[in-house]
Structure 1
Amino acid sequence: MNLTNEMSNKIQICRAIAIIAVVIIHNCPQEYEGIVIRCFVNFAVALFIFLSGYLTKLVNNGIKIFYKKRLLRVFIPYGIWSVLYTMVSGKWDNFVFNFITGQCCDIYYFIIVYIQLTILAPWISRLIQSKYWKLGFLITPIFIAIEYVYTINDNSIVFPFNALFFVVWFIFFYLGMCIRNGNISISLNFKRLCCLFIAGYVIQLIESIIWYVYGNYNMATTQLKFSAILYSVIVSMIAYLWIIKEKNISYNKIINVFIVIGNYSFGIYLTHIVLMGVLNKTVYKFIDIIFPFNIVLIILIEVIGISFMAKFCGKKVCKYLGLM
């Protein structure tokens, strides 16, 4: 399937929604209010990974070119920002370990996961083309089940290590690749999609409240529990069906802003944690900006800042920095 300009714009809008969800997660209220909100936006990382899989054709030839194109695009910015975050924190003693495990900034685990999945893409392609391709969908549930057993036995895998291994996110990348390469065909009407979305949210909310009542807030809010995986799969399918829908977007100022946010999504991901730190030491000391207005402020500053960088430093510099 060849992507049209319209489909590309829709993908950017999906990325915009995903990065806004990421920022919400990192600024979410606590307790029950936080659980309700987290259950709604817990598709964030999964949607990014699904879109990456959907944009990945079968990798049978030109593997070196594929690696060069995909890996350098994220590895160079990752390296630059990891060094910058380490300079700010001063934690050079564990730099090598933190760099390898995506802990120079806590949320960089996603980049390590993306690198793992990109490296494995040729082997994933072989699995998709084999008669055993359906078994690929068992990988994530098996490892989530192992995590449940580990957690129920009063053990815990500290974040970000519980999210660092590619297997827990594999289902989303694999689903995207399977859809892109014709193994799966999805056809659902709007009414059924709405029902699935609501059902997925309610199921996740129920499981989250159960975990919270039993004293495990991390499991209550995590994106890596069975109900959250189910919910994120549903959201990914909704995104896919919207992307391929023949009806064109009704462009207006809001849609155009979302496309810009989507274009800047990787840059926002890389930098919004440091921006939050700056805001905590400056603006928030004088003005109490409550949720969700703080989300609007962060996204607004990010878009203006990246646009400023693109204008005065050039797109080439911004590309190396991962800002666009």
Structure 2
Amino acid sequence: MFKLTNEMSNKIQICRAIAIIAVVIIHNCPQEYEGIVIRCFVNFAVALFIFLSGYLTRIINTDIMTFYKKRLLRVIIPYCIWSVLYTIAFNKWDDFIFNFITGQCCGIYYFIIVYMQLTILVPWISKLIQSKYWKLGFLITPISIAIEYIYTLNDNTIAFPFNALFFVVWFIFFYLGMCIRNGNIRISSDCKNFYYLFAIGYVVQLIESIIWYTYGNYNMATTQLKFSAILCSVIVSIIAYLWITKEIRILYNRISQIFIMIGNYSFGIYLTHIALMAVLGKTVYKFIDIIFPFNIVLIILIEVIGISLMVKFCGKKVCKYLGLI
């Protein structure tokens, strides 16, 4: 029987903190070979968020509308607010309807569209998990990625974020989380074994990335959606699950508390950090050359302080509508 304890909740928040820091790194890391080396290490970012969402999703057979109301309103209202704010800030009204539907008002909002797709599909995913064919669900993402490879190798391209916009390419992470949550899969191996697997997976991903880069496709070299990156992300997801469920308690100190806070603010950071980067680019960065990784520290610091002040002065209710907490 699945029981989420306070300790597990805090561990999940720490995992979310790691994931959002990885997202910020992806959007600020250097280019060329240095960027490839870094990206191969943090390409689990979105996948880990999706896995955690799946892990926190029980099988739904009844009361579906209540589930939809709880899950979808949590993201739809902030998505609408921030999509409009980004459109105003960057004066991108010409294609607003198309951008809004496809998560293009801010280029990284494709993740929210994917999350909503997976949430809407939960009743059908639940039926698949309960059927004798449940293992077939793990083929959906590999098949979709294989199709993209064939398309790319035939000198075609699917521009970002459209290659990441359809739920099938992320499905394996959400499905893995739900299967673990609902008892279809039991993993009891030691975390150390998966650390070794991640090291091997990282090398494989690095090799594949360099091959893509050598042949002139930097997007494929750095994407989170290639076979080796997906393999690494699955391994990271399993490591996260094993750590969340281990009996070893968190050592509560200033560092762990900061990570828990970052995890609590992770959605708010996701929604706003692109705007913050634009502001920094027109102000601080014009006078001070803040190199990687110090720019990551600066962005996370400003986000945490800013959201904390918003919570203090505007209240939790307003901040929930804004998606900040």
The normalised TM-score by structure 2 is 0.99
Is residue 191–residue 243 contact of structure 2 (8 Å, CA) maintained in 1? no
| Matching residue of 2:222 | 221
Q: Following the alignment from structure 1 to structure 2, what is the Cα–Cα distance between the partners of residues 151 and 194?
A: 31
| Matching residue of 1:67 | 68
Is residue 145–residue 225 contact of structure 2 (8 Å, CA) maintained in 1? yes
| Matching residue of 1:244 | 245
Q: State the 4+ residue runs in structure 1 displaced beyond 6 angstroms.
A: none
Q: Following the alignment from structure 2 to structure 1, what is the Cα–Cα distance between the partners of residues 47 and 36?
A: 18
How far apart are 1:187 and its partner, in Å? 1.6
Pick which of 192-201 and 33-42 moved more: 192-201
| Matching residue of 1:176 | 177
Q: Following the alignment from structure 2 to structure 1, what is the Cα–Cα distance between the partners of residues 118 and 190?
A: 31
How far apart are 1:191 and its partner, in Å? 2.9
Amino acid at match of 1:215: G
Amino acid at match of 2:77: I
1:34-45 to structure 2, matched below 5 A, reads: 34-45=35-46
| Matching residue of 2:140 | 139
Q: Secondary structure at the match of 1:288?
A: coil
1:279-305 deviations in whole A, cap 9, x for unaligned?
Answer: 000000000000000000000000000
1:101-112 to structure 2, matched below 5 A, reads: 101-112=102-113
Amino acid at match of 1:51: L
1:164-197 deviations in whole A, cap 9, x for unaligned?
Answer: 0000000000000000000001121233122111
2:90 is the counterpart of 1:89: yes
Q: Secondary structure at the match of 2:12?
A: helix
Q: Following the alignment from structure 2 to structure 1, what is the Cα–Cα distance between the partners of residues 207 and 229?
A: 11
1:48-87 deviations in whole A, cap 9, x for unaligned?
Answer: 0000000000011110000000000000000000000001
1:116-142 deviations in whole A, cap 9, x for unaligned?
Answer: 000000000000000000000000000
**Over the residues paired in the alignment, what is the CA RMSD in angstroms?**
0.5
Q: Secondary structure at the match of 2:251?
A: coil
Q: Following the alignment from structure 1 to structure 2, what is the Cα–Cα distance between the partners of residues 164 and 273?
A: 18
2:309 is the counterpart of 1:283: no
1:155-170 to structure 2, matched below 5 A, reads: 155-170=156-171
How far apart are 1:247 and its partner, in Å? 1.1
| Matching residue of 1:189 | 190
| Matching residue of 2:9 | 8
Q: Following the alignment from structure 1 to structure 2, what is the Cα–Cα distance between the partners of residues 289 and 93?
A: 34
Q: Following the alignment from structure 1 to structure 2, what is the Cα–Cα distance between the partners of residues 3 and 189?
A: 21
Q: Secondary structure at the match of 2:52?
A: helix
Amino acid at match of 2:126: S
Q: Secondary structure at the match of 2:39?
A: helix
How far apart are 1:89 and its partner, in Å? 1.4
Amino acid at match of 2:294: F
Q: Following the alignment from structure 2 to structure 1, what is the Cα–Cα distance between the partners of residues 292 and 92?
A: 31
Q: Following the alignment from structure 1 to structure 2, what is the Cα–Cα distance between the partners of residues 228 and 67?
A: 31
Q: Following the alignment from structure 1 to structure 2, what is the Cα–Cα distance between the partners of residues 66 and 50?
A: 18
Amino acid at match of 2:161: P
Is residue 58–residue 182 contact of structure 2 (8 Å, CA) maintained in 1? yes
The normalised TM-score by structure 1 is 0.99
How far apart are 1:91 and its partner, in Å? 1.4
Is residue 14–residue 260 contact of structure 2 (8 Å, CA) maintained in 1? yes
Gap regions ≥5 residues in structure 2: none
1:25-40 to structure 2, matched below 5 A, reads: 25-40=26-41
Q: Following the alignment from structure 1 to structure 2, what is the Cα–Cα distance between the partners of residues 70 and 86?
A: 25
| Matching residue of 1:119 | 120
| Matching residue of 2:306 | 305
Q: Secondary structure at the match of 1:27?
A: coil
Amino acid at match of 2:59: L
Is residue 60–residue 122 contact of structure 2 (8 Å, CA) maintained in 1? yes
| Matching residue of 2:52 | 51
Amino acid at match of 1:151: T
Is residue 13–residue 259 contact of structure 2 (8 Å, CA) maintained in 1? yes
| Matching residue of 1:203 | 204
| Matching residue of 2:80 | 79
Is residue 191–residue 242 contact of structure 2 (8 Å, CA) maintained in 1? no
Number of equivalent positions: 324
Amino acid at match of 2:236: V
Q: Secondary structure at the match of 2:289?
A: coil
Q: Following the alignment from structure 2 to structure 1, what is the Cα–Cα distance between the partners of residues 228 and 100?
A: 31
Q: Following the alignment from structure 2 to structure 1, what is the Cα–Cα distance between the partners of residues 93 and 211?
A: 40
| Matching residue of 1:100 | 101
Identity rate, percent = 83
